[in-house]
Amino acid sequence: QVQFVESGGGLIQPGGSLRLSCAASGITFSAFYIAWYRQHTGKEREFVGYISTGRSTNYADSVKGRFTISRDDGNNMVYLEMNNLKPEDTAVYYCNKLGASDSWGQGTQVTVSS
């Protein structure tokens, strides 16, 4: 059974930084591109970025230059380093296989507010 567990969210002031973690189980982790997504209240889930099996990355324009994704295949972990956070980054953040339509975790809430 594929499972993703996100953690590390919280309340942070604008301009601050957070590091989110994603623990995966039930898959051959190193074989998959892993993505981060987020969902603003009342809106559809949106793509944030992904990391390939070769550790190349790609990001949505809204977070490019501020967010960094990394992975630790030995521990089935993916990380999202978020810097210079803005109020519009407030959302529930999820990780999953790139393009997945199921096996979503509970997400982790990030709130950027002064």
pLDDT exceeds 90 at position 9:
yes
- Pick the closest to residue 37 from 59, 19, 57, 8 (CA basis): 59
pLDDT of 109: 98
Query: For residue 101, what pLDDT band results from cuts at 50, 70 and 90?
Result: confident
Give me the mean pLDDT over the 81-105 stretch.
Answer: 95
Percent of the chain, pLDDT > 70? 100
* Mean per-residue pLDDT of the chain: 96
Rounded CA separation 29/86 (Å) = 31
What's the pLDDT at 43?
96
